[in-house]
Structure 1
Amino acid sequence: MTFFDISRKMLRANFRRYRLYFLGNVFSLVLFYSFAAIFTNQAFMNPKSVNSYISSNIYAPSLFVGIFFVLFIPYSYQQFMKLRQHDYGILMTMGMSETEVLTNMLLEQCLIAGISLLAGLLLGTLIAFVFYFVIQHVIGVSGLHWYFNVESYQWTALLYGLTILFTLVMSVIGFKKMELIDLIKEKFRGERKRKSSRGQLIFGVILVSVSVPMMLIGYVQANSVLWLEISFGVILAGSGFILAQVETLDNVWAKIIPGFRDHHFLGIAFNRQHAGSRSRIGIIAAWLVGFCVFFAGSTGIMYQALTKDAISNSPYDLVYSQIFGKNQVADRNIVNLLAQNGVTVQGVKQVDYLRNGVYNLLPLSEVNKEFGTSYQIPQGEFLTVFQFDFQDGYRHDLTSPSTVGFDCGQETMELKSAGSDVRILFNRNPTLADRNLVLNDADYRKIAGQSSDFWAGILKLYSFKQWQNSGKGIAAVQNYLLEKNRVDKPVQQRYYWATSRVESYTLAQQSAEFLLFVMFFVEVLFCAAANIMIHFKIKAEGEEEQRLLSGLCRLGVTAEEMLTMIRHKNIYYFMPQVIAGLFMGSLYGYAVNEFYGYGWQAAGYSLLIGLGLAALQFVMVLRYSRRELLGFGL
């Protein structure tokens, strides 16, 4: 029997010990491929098929999944090798060379990686079908269709291959630095004892406390992103100190709760055996849960925010422009067509305008009459109107030109700025330029009559009795205009499309639902990753824990007492990061979303979801602890 045969038998005999690594790889591959199948879909990413307002929401979740992918697989392999190195140490004492060990290790990893890749892509393809079905039939993004997309498989395989290559290189480097005796002892290596430090715990609490006013004053009040970043760094450092000394809470409970130390002395003793490594995992898990709670609260208000923005940016129920000889239809025809489809028109406005590649020029008298403004603009000046909503969560450029020159035949008319105003006068429309200038009527007429740089158009603005059920009528109007203009539909959509409130609302609704859907998977991923990392840690300590429990069993410790000890230990493993993540996620959910008026709502959603997650986690800890004890067979 060769050393390779012995190693293979060791692996097969202990496969249950290593299956978490395999399942972790498959889990990561499935999640990444599910997103890759969407962001590599040419139809979905094509703005002619799916509006970029929706498709752009795939980038951030895909980035988070990719980051998790390249971090989680090396970590799971490290836990896998911690157990496997003991086997290699035994084989080397029997005469197996280092080269043979490394060859066997590489072949073994490549075999597991290959099987994981095939299983992950196969299962990921099935999950991608679910993604496509929900996005297309539930959310209503009809432009998304499944097809055999080789690029998605290539991206997933490439990222996985690079991650495995990096993992193997670091593993080989670490292996060559270890002595033979270290390999044999690796599985049974105890942690360096460290004393608990109440001072570090207090220092961590101080840092967390200081980060709160930093964020509230520096970011929420002063609107400084720098202070948000500083506050975030401080709270991460503070939470690290707290979680690194969380076992010192046993001393606090012992002073507050009579008999606590006597009832939990076994759990307290075992809890401190792995305090050092547990704190490192706990910090990472806390950050993962914190991101999960933050995104859960933020996406919870996203639906309301996006649909509200869609309505505020569309003050009229139907808008189209008569320009370049297109959309030349009578108002009565549009009104009758809408009436045939159950839509009652309450009013129709029209505003003359001029446009070039940069500016829309609007006459002062018509703006004041149709939009209810009271602008006063002297001849020779202009007013810049920014059609922004400061509560939409975006930063807007409010820089207006000081002067603008207009070519009026033999002379250039130069107007100076009379200031600016921020007000949404009418819906966005593809026939309009980006910037709006309101001019004195005399200046407007002169430019209209003498300038060859501007095209003249008429903006039609319709108001309905009820816009919510106007979708069918809007579709009929779009088809009617397309027929009259005699252009291809892509040309109509790009230049002459009629914009409407119901279409803007539907688009925002689909965008919010799509974002909620994909972020749900990211949040589940973060929570699962936090718990899987801790589960890996507990499994790595399983044999040591079993020896300790076996000794206690021989001393007469009952199964219920051992269960109490395991519960005490697992509560410290699983619960602190949930509490820390709940605090961080809710706090920064408030800060970030307060910028556009949804701070308390986001914090409320984060708290509600975080408390539900904490309750679920606690129930799972109780069940997990009992299963852990049963797994020892005591």
Structure 2
Amino acid sequence: MTFPQFVFRNVIRNKRTYAAYFLSSAFSVLIFFVYALFIFHPDIKNGVTASLAVQLMVAAEVIMYVFSFLFVLYSVSTFLKSRKREFGILMMHGMTRSQLNRMVFLENMLIGIASILTGIGIGIITGKLFLMIGSRMIGIEPLPFILSTKVLIITISAFLILFFCISLFTAILVRVNKLIDLFQAGEKPKKDPKTSVFLSVVSAVLLLVSYYLAATATVYSLLFRMLPVIGMTIIGTYFFFTQLSVFMTKLVQKNRLLFWNKTNIITISSLAYRLKDNARMFFLVTIVSTVAFCAVGTLASMNVLNEQIDTEYPAEISYIAMDEEPLHQRNLEQIESELKEKQLSYHKNQVPIKIVEIASSSSEALYPPEELAVISFSNYKKIAEAAGYVFTEKPLAEQDALEMKSSSLGNSNFLSFILKQEDIKLEPESSTEHVVLPWQLVYDEGMVVSDPLYEKLTPVSTELFTGFYIEDIEKTLGIANNLVKDGVAFPSDDSSYSMTVSGTLLNIQMSMFKMMLFVALLIGAVFFITAGSFLYFRLYADLDYDRRQYLTIKKIGLTDQELNKIVTRQLALLFFVPIVVAFIHSGFAFMALQSYFTLSIAGEVVIVLASFLAAQIVYFFFIRYNYLRNLKKSLI
């Protein structure tokens, strides 16, 4: 038998241990290959939507490639630790250090090449399906399956380099201790896990503070709190698994009523050791799972924009004419003509907007606004009622003013202004309840003033707002495409109007989020499967130790039913503790995200988390069945 044959048979004999590593690596290759099919497809390079899709997929390729590198590195290091006894036997029979390094290198490369071939093979078989699903989600025509040599070369080269570097790196780091140490690696009694009360308290404080900051975040404070909260959560999670969880387990052991109850003495006594031994793995699984949950959940939540956009764009088509040129009348006639062609019923509203000059303001911006858009309270009420709002605001006193809300997220700066005209001062103490003009049409600041005050104002110019109100926002898609670019038009040297078509804006926005969701789903699947693989590796790395432990306990009367109960509890803790912590992290992250929406995203979040939980439960019972089967083989 040649050395390569020995390496091949060694991998085949350990197929159970290598199975999750191989399948996860093959799945990563598959997703990388599918993305490459999109990125280098000759029919996807035209259009803004397709261009954005390509950019997102390139970013996903990079993220997944870096993550795959870390995943493979962790997996290989776990295998090496669990094979010390095997290395000792080989060295006792004459294997040299260089041969051992060569064996490890060839094994990793063999699994890597098999993963690449398997991933690409499945990708070729299912590529057409992925292209159909992806095309539908990003809103383009169905793409034919085209397998270019560039896709094959990039995928094979990228992962060959990855597996080569990892194999070379791990082969160099293989540590050969004394033979006696290698043989006793899995039999040495474990030291009693020690914990720090100080670090346990630090963990609890960091997590509680980060949860509080996330739960109380607003749309204005979220950006400033994001990085500190993420940092505190990561550090707090690490110390939670390395310190706090072990500390809490030791407290439970002091409760004799619980600890000495039936088989709890076995379950709880080994729990502290498992938590300490698997702390880093739990930490990795929790962080990876949280990233997957948040990525998919955040983008799934974007579906509420379909409803929220009604509040952002109360008039389905908004048009502001900045002068009295005949062009504006032609444009409005074109809009009405297209609405009639589509047989859309609508009603139209027009109100004037006065542009007044500002002498000074309370703004601290480097370039404070020089002009202010002002509408009267009666006109504000008119277009608010036209948009279908129930109007309950009380009329303003003569000198009162309201800040014009231009987004449902709010823009409450409450700046005060002194106008050049007779030193009129506008000091709003609140904002309007409703959005009547979208933010694209209010460049600097807008104000609603009382009717008497509005009549007194002498503007530098007067603009005319025209709103077209239609019941079905989606049917305005494509209206007046020659007047707007991607649903919005801003004034320029060539045009003196601004305009929004909310149906077109909604279509572009939803297409973008569908693309992002498609990308996030695939990356989330890779992350989640990898997290499950981490658990699988750790479980089978401890299998020999567990066999000896349960064999000893069985000699003093442990029944099969009690064994099933103990193993199920321990596996449940192993599988669901990091997932539950990840759910809690994600829950508070979504509470912070809710500040960006006027509508609730709870339904979408619950569906995403429930889907991940269902997948984890299925995986748990599959692993439990196989683990018990392998464990009982040596107990017969």
Query: TM-score, normalization: structure 2?
Result: 0.72
Q: In 2 relative to 1, CA 163–7 (structure 1 residues): closer, same or farther, beyond 3 Å?
A: closer
CA contact (8 A) 2:215 2:588 kept: no
Report which of the two has the higher share of helix: 1
Query: 1:173 Cα deviation (Å)?
Result: 2.6
Residue 466 of structure 1 corresponds to which residue in structure 2?
A: 471
- C-alpha distance in 2 between matches for 1:402 and 1:178: 80
Residue 239 of structure 2 corresponds to which residue in structure 1?
A: 241
For the residue of structure 1 that corresponds to 2:344, the secondary structure is coil
1:542-557 to 2 correspondence within 5 Å?
A: 542-557=543-558
Query: 1:560 Cα deviation (Å)?
Result: 1.5
Query: 1:183 Cα deviation (Å)?
Result: 8.3
Residue 276 of structure 1 corresponds to which residue in structure 2?
A: 276
Residue 578 of structure 1 corresponds to which residue in structure 2?
A: 579
Query: 1:281 Cα deviation (Å)?
Result: 0.9
Q: In 2 relative to 1, CA 603–62 (structure 1 residues): closer, same or farther, beyond 3 Å?
A: farther
Instruction: For 1:470, give the aligned amino acid.
Output: K
CA contact (8 A) 2:214 2:592 kept: yes
Instruction: For 2:468, give the aligned amino acid.
Output: S
Query: 1:609 Cα deviation (Å)?
Result: 5.1
Residue 10 of structure 1 corresponds to which residue in structure 2?
A: 10
CA contact (8 A) 1:200 1:242 kept: no
Q: In 2 relative to 1, CA 602–426 (structure 1 residues): closer, same or farther, beyond 3 Å?
A: closer
- C-alpha distance in 1 between matches for 2:180 and 2:132: 52
CA contact (8 A) 1:360 1:436 kept: no
CA contact (8 A) 1:32 1:156 kept: yes
Query: 1:312 Cα deviation (Å)?
Result: 4.1
Instruction: For 1:34, give the aligned amino acid.
Output: V
- C-alpha distance in 1 between matches for 2:254 and 2:373: 78
- C-alpha distance in 2 between matches for 1:349 and 1:51: 38
Instruction: For 1:594, give the aligned amino acid.
Output: S
- C-alpha distance in 2 between matches for 1:25 and 1:95: 33
- C-alpha distance in 1 between matches for 2:210 and 2:204: 10
Q: In 2 relative to 1, CA 193–214 (structure 1 residues): closer, same or farther, beyond 3 Å?
A: same
Residue 631 of structure 1 corresponds to which residue in structure 2?
A: 630
CA contact (8 A) 1:319 1:462 kept: yes
- C-alpha distance in 2 between matches for 1:532 and 1:398: 53
- C-alpha distance in 2 between matches for 1:339 and 1:624: 62
1:510-589 to 2 correspondence within 5 Å?
A: 510-589=511-590
Residue 594 of structure 2 corresponds to which residue in structure 1?
A: 593
Q: Deviations over 1:319-357 (max 9, x none)?
A: 579999989847556534432422123226598999xxx
Residue 124 of structure 1 corresponds to which residue in structure 2?
A: 123
Query: 1:570 Cα deviation (Å)?
Result: 1.2
CA contact (8 A) 1:362 1:444 kept: no
- C-alpha distance in 2 between matches for 1:42 and 1:17: 41
Q: In 2 relative to 1, CA 610–501 (structure 1 residues): closer, same or farther, beyond 3 Å?
A: closer
Q: In 2 relative to 1, CA 528–243 (structure 1 residues): closer, same or farther, beyond 3 Å?
A: same
CA contact (8 A) 1:586 1:607 kept: no
For the residue of structure 2 that corresponds to 1:347, the secondary structure is strand
- C-alpha distance in 2 between matches for 1:351 and 1:288: 54
Instruction: For 1:73, give the aligned amino acid.
Output: V
Verify: 1:30 aligned to 2:35, yes or no.
no
Query: 1:59 Cα deviation (Å)?
Result: 6.7
Q: Deviations over 1:157-188 (max 9, x none)?
A: 4542443243223312312x433527843863
Verify: 1:298 aligned to 2:316, yes or no.
no
- C-alpha distance in 2 between matches for 1:327 and 1:221: 37
For the residue of structure 1 that corresponds to 2:348, the secondary structure is strand
Q: In 2 relative to 1, CA 303–362 (structure 1 residues): closer, same or farther, beyond 3 Å?
A: same
Query: 1:536 Cα deviation (Å)?
Result: 0.6
Query: 1:538 Cα deviation (Å)?
Result: 0.8
Query: 1:537 Cα deviation (Å)?
Result: 0.6
Instruction: For 1:527, give the aligned amino acid.
Output: F
Q: In 2 relative to 1, CA 597–253 (structure 1 residues): closer, same or farther, beyond 3 Å?
A: farther
Worse-superposed segment, 339-348 or 205-214: 205-214
- C-alpha distance in 1 between matches for 2:58 and 2:415: 30
Structure 2 spans left out of the alignment, 5+ residues: 356-368, 384-394, 397-402, 420-424, 448-455
- C-alpha distance in 2 between matches for 1:366 and 1:111: 76
CA contact (8 A) 1:348 1:461 kept: yes
Instruction: For 1:188, give the aligned amino acid.
Output: G
Residue 223 of structure 1 corresponds to which residue in structure 2?
A: 221
Query: 1:39 Cα deviation (Å)?
Result: 4.8
Residue 94 of structure 1 corresponds to which residue in structure 2?
A: 93
Identity %: 14
CA contact (8 A) 2:241 2:283 kept: yes
CA contact (8 A) 1:194 1:276 kept: no
Residue 501 of structure 1 corresponds to which residue in structure 2?
A: 502
Query: 1:284 Cα deviation (Å)?
Result: 1.5
Query: 1:19 Cα deviation (Å)?
Result: 2.8
Instruction: For 1:135, give the aligned amino acid.
Output: G
Residue 306 of structure 2 corresponds to which residue in structure 1?
A: 307
Residue 391 of structure 1 corresponds to which residue in structure 2?
A: 409
Structure 1 spans left out of the alignment, 5+ residues: 376-384, 404-416, 449-457, 486-490
- C-alpha distance in 1 between matches for 2:376 and 2:212: 49
- C-alpha distance in 2 between matches for 1:325 and 1:151: 55
CA contact (8 A) 1:24 1:73 kept: no
Residue 347 of structure 1 corresponds to which residue in structure 2?
A: 348
RMSD: 5.3
- C-alpha distance in 2 between matches for 1:7 and 1:168: 14
